[in-house]
Structure 1
Amino acid sequence: MSSPDDLAGPKQKLFEARTKIFPKAVDGSFRRLKWALMAVTLTIYYVTPWLRWDRGPYAPDQAVLVDIAHRRFFMFSIEIWPHEFYYVAGLLIMAGIGLFLVTSAVGRAWCGYACPQTVWTDLFVHVERAIEGDRNAQIRLQKAPWGPAKIAKRVTKHGIWLLIAVATGGAWIFYFDDAPTLFGQVVRGEAPIAAYATIAILTGTTYVLGGLMREQVCVYMCPWPRIQGAMLDEKSLLVTYKYWRGEPRTHGLKRAGPAARRPEVQDQGAEPQVGIPSLVALAANPEKTPRIGDCIDCNACVAVCPTGIDIRNGSQIGCITCGLCIDACDQIMAKIGRPPRLIGYSTIADETIAGEGGEPMHPLRRLLRLRTILYTLVWAGIGMGMLFALGTRTRIDLSVSQTRNPLYVRLSDGSIRNTYTVKVRNMENRPREVEIGLSGLTRAAMWNDAGSRETAGSTVRLKVPADQVARTRVFVAAPAQGPTRQDVTFTVRALDQEGGQDTDENFFERPETGQ
């Protein structure tokens, strides 16, 4: 009698087990470009917290600093306060639109050259290659039984990976406090627990994602490959295998004369043959020679791919358009005497035209499309708006709130007094003296905690420390005759040469008539 398992048929796997990838070393223009961008990006990341920027005696001198304790963000000459967080939001929006623009124009260039996952994975791969050897040596080591040599190489490799991961986590915390001071505290064991926890977390994530998971992050974890489908079209620049030129493959034919690479089959009744044709037969019957592509099926493009895909199968989610397969294929084409760029950066539209014998699109026409133009205009518009706001923003800010308990006080001379809490924010890195005034209320007198009714006047002066908020209570007295609620405007004005002012709207409350 059959069991339920037999009736259900063979069990299907819910996922495919990972096949470890051993990328082969390659040299070429795109590999050198990746080297240069890796050096630039890693230098920016590790060196930036140590750069100094003189802001005077009242502000930190670290060029880039996220000062959480004082709620500030410093980037060279720019200082962002919490109430100006819209600048940070604007930068994030610009980054997103910029990513859309780059993807629609040149494909996944960000993924292939500048993404942190790509940069650190590439660094880890080079460390592994330096210790264990190139692709073939790594494969042999992987299959070899455990012994002293294999253990020594694996311990050395993972030890260096951990050092890189620790340096990565350590560099990150220096963006949030003075780098030299915090470095000394970390070394002496005097740093806050949060600093050590951050280093531990980033060390673990860098080691696991960059050293162990590698391409799995790009293929399975990263959402961008899924999103990019909406950003790409037939005119987007991608790493492309030229089918019209490479097929059918010859499976190892190194060199063949012109007869072996005729553009079309002369004998329409003959089936195209794929394999290593006999050169003697080709010479004897050139008119019956089938078309032979330039691809010799050497798999060099697959061997160098960091994600292990075969670009000849078309655009895939695992392709990060790093261009290493282009370098590998160009080397093979040079060896067999064929033109380069069997694999190259191109568009689907260009390859369709080329396959039909036409001329590809001009690069400017490829870039100047409606989609890229719109992205550029939106990106530039946001950037120009933020620059204008930065250039015209005042370095002083006023916030006024009315004290509601009591709402008002009747003084001995019959006038009505309201109380306000006034906050003046000085966004300069030096102390400033300011003057607070009031408009919209006739015959009004005002004073603060440091004065009295007898010393009241039309304005109040206040000293505000550098990069701080000064808070004071301001008392305003006015005649009892007038509206129950009257609009008033508070104004703060800096008294130094740079000047600057800000205003805030509020109300002056009176009792109803007869009270």
Structure 2
Amino acid sequence: MNKIVQIDPDQVEDVGPLYAARKKVYPQKVSGTFRRIKWGLMAFCLGIYYFLPFVRWNRGLAAPDQAVLIDLPNSRFYFFFIELWPQEVYYFTGLLILAAITLFLMNSVGGRIWCGYLCPQTVWTDLFYAVERLVEGDRRERMKKDASAHRWTLERISEFVLKHSIWLMIAWWTGGAWVLYFTDAPTLVKELVTFQAPAIAYIWIAILTATTYLLAGFMREQVCVYMCPWPRIQAALTDEWALNVTYRYDRGEKRMSVKKANDLRALGQHAGDCVDCYQCVAVCPVGIDIRNGPQLDCIQCGLCIDACDNVMKKINRPTRLIGYDNDINIQRRIEGKAPIYRIVRPRTIIYAALIALVGGIMLYTLATRSLLDINVLHDRNPVAVKLSDGSIRNAYTVRFLNKRGFDRVVAIDIDGPQDAKLHVVGGDSITPDRPMIVLGRDGTTELRVLVTAPSDRNPEKSIPVKFRVTDIGLGEVASATDNFVAP
């Protein structure tokens, strides 16, 4: 018999909450090398994203002239001079492979530099922070206003409305810019302004506006810490030679005030350069203390490097107390050895070689791909028909793909059955003996083709038959193989 045990609630150990409550982060404005790099990359990335849909590219008569266009109704993807068809989806697979290997290479060289400088979440969050500082003031002002017992003054309400209005404008243009990649941008902008755009356009703009507003304006560092899988993956891929944002504790410890450190140095004793000013914490967009060592939250944006450098310059100490470094060099400096860096090593060489290999294969296939193609599908019911004169006829559905921007005249030939005759059903053949048809530009043409051959010269039950299509003007050839079967 099971014994019922009563537990005294007062004796149960309190294990605390299941997750940590969010502490609002108030990043402080900072200037320096890495801040300028981030501003430059932000302007570059956002400039491309927002304005690329308006770039034009001449592809000939009646062809879309938008440089980058995902044309879903016509199943095309245009990227300047490149036009991809649904049958060429493997190029996108190659791009995904290249992106993954490039991310691995970036990680092996400089840790999470993708997260700190190029990730869309970082870029838009950084932009929203800039708007917040412009409207509400820097770190101390925002913290003071949020802690005030009289938060909602008229001035505070006007700042709140202005900030969120600018955020929504940025988020709206972000969502609108994404939709512009799927149709002609100037036309859609006009339709959106006059409220004549398709409902699906407004729906997607609303969805993307809401997600940008929420992720960059409210969730911010929570996306990087809890939602993004890359910090966990990156931690498994890194090695001891990767350069990460590192507090050089061999130089910074023991922490003390500037005055005490100067006194100790005057006596010839060691004193750490870190003055415990917490500027590295104040500027951090995820609110961590880099001096506590490597942390999952750190996106390695380098802003703490700029903040620390500014302090070191003020107290006349060498810069880069915080910098891109590795633990090997810290240990070497403790032992009195010179630091060493190995950007080029087997790991980075392998990644670079894989990038070159995959990129080379993609470029080769793109440069040598045929702009004329043919697909053949054998009729299944009936598979073959025996005619009154004893000959055998097979029927096929043949699809021709003309990927050029102009009409083409092509000839159709077959190899396989002896003395076989070819007939295009309903096709306007130019010549009766050798079928020649006109393929429309940048499209597919589907025809029914009959192949008839004498049975006495083709006794086998199944004979390979090769359909060959030849461009009369350019000489391009494409072929496809099927079977010619007896009843």
Q: Give yes or no for TM over 0.5.
A: yes
* Shift in Å, 1:413: 2.8
Pick from 303, 326, 331 the counterpart of residue 282 of structure 2: 303
Does the Cα contact within 8 Å between 2:428 and 2:437 map onto a contact in 1? no
Alpha-carbon distance between aligned partners in 2 of 1:76 and 1:101, rounded to the nearest angstrom: 27
Residue 396 of structure 2: aligned partner? 420
Once the two structures are TM-superposed, the CA of residue 186 in structure 1 deviates from its matched residue by 1.5
Distance 1:347 1:493 in 2: 61
Alignment counterpart, residue 433 of structure 1, candidates 403, 409, 412: 409
1:5 to 1, 9, 12: 9
For 1:368-383, list aligned pairs within 5 A. 368-383=344-359
8 Å CA contact 2:463, 2:485 repeated in 1: yes
Listed one character per residue, the Cα deviations across residues 198-229 of structure 1 (whole Å, up to 9, x for unaligned) are 10111011000001011111111110000001
Instruction: Work out the CA distance in 1 between the residues paired with 2:86 and 2:216.
Output: 34
Q: Distance in 1 between matches of 2:261 and 2:350?
A: 49
Mapped pair 1:405 → 2:381: yes
Match of 2:258, SS state, is coil
Cα distance in 1, alignment partners of residues 370 and 135 from structure 2: 57
Q: Please name the residue that 1:270 is paired with.
A: none
1:262-411 equivalences under 5 Å are 286=267, 289=269, 291-361=270-340, 363=341, 366-411=342-387
Residue 233, structure 1, aligned to residue 225, structure 2: no
In the TM superposition, what is the alpha-carbon distance from 1:230 to its structure 2 partner?
1.5
Matched AA of 2:305: I
Residues 242 and 343 of structure 1 are in contact (CA less than 8 Å); yes or no, is this contact kept in structure 2?
A: yes
Whether the aligned pair in 1 keeps the contact of 2:261 and 2:271 (CA below 8 Å) is no
State the Cα deviation string for residues 458-480 of structure 1 (Å, max 9, x = none): x3212111111001111111101
1:243 maps to 2:249: yes
TM-aligned CA deviation for residue 381 of structure 1 = 0.4
Aligned alpha-carbon RMSD (Å): 1.7
Deviations 1:420-473 (A, max 9, x none): 1110001111111111110112101111123699x852x321211111100111
Letter of the 2:326 counterpart: T
- Tell me the CA shift for residue 509 of structure 1: 1.5
TM norm structure 1: 0.90
Q: Relative to 1, partners in 2 of residues 1:359 and 1:407: Cα closer, same or farther, differing over 3 Å? A: same
**So what's the TM-score if we normalise by structure 2?**
0.95
Letter in 1 for 2:141: A
Task: Map 1:495-506; keep pairs closer than 5 Å.
Answer: 495-497=472-474, 499-506=475-482
Following superposition, which runs of at least 4 residues in structure 1 exceed 6 angstroms of deviation?
none
Distance in 1 of aligned mates of 2:313 and 2:321: 11
Q: Report if aligned partners of 1:244, 1:355 keep a CA contact under 8 Å in 2.
A: yes
Please say if 1:253 is aligned against 2:232.
no
1:266 corresponds in structure 2 to: none
- Check whether the contact 1:255–1:336 (CA below 8 A) recurs between aligned residues: no
Deviation at 1:490, TM superposition (A): 0.5
Q: Is the 8 A contact 1:254 1:296 kept in 2?
A: no
1:3, CA displacement in angstroms?
Answer: 6.8
- Pairing of 1:402-481 with structure 2 (within 5 A): 402-450=378-426, 457=433, 459-481=434-456
Distance 1:299 1:51 in 2: 46
- Per-residue Cα deviation, 1:41-99 (whole angstroms, up to 9, x for no partner): 00010011111000001421110011110111110111111011000100011001100
Residues 115-143 of structure 1 deviation map (CA, whole Å, 9 limit, x = unaligned) = 00000000000000000000001111111
Residue 39 (structure 2) pairs with residue 35 (structure 1): yes
C-alpha distance in 2 between matches for 1:495 and 1:172: 42
Q: Which residue of 1 aligns with 2:3?
A: none
Q: Which amino acid aligns with 1:164?
A: I
The share of aligned pairs that are identical, in percent, is 50
Q: Report if aligned partners of 1:300, 1:328 keep a CA contact under 8 Å in 2.
A: yes
Secondary structure of the equivalent of 1:420?
Answer: strand
Shifted more, 51-60 versus 294-303: the winner is 51-60
The runs of 5 or more residues in structure 1 that have no matched partner are: 262-282
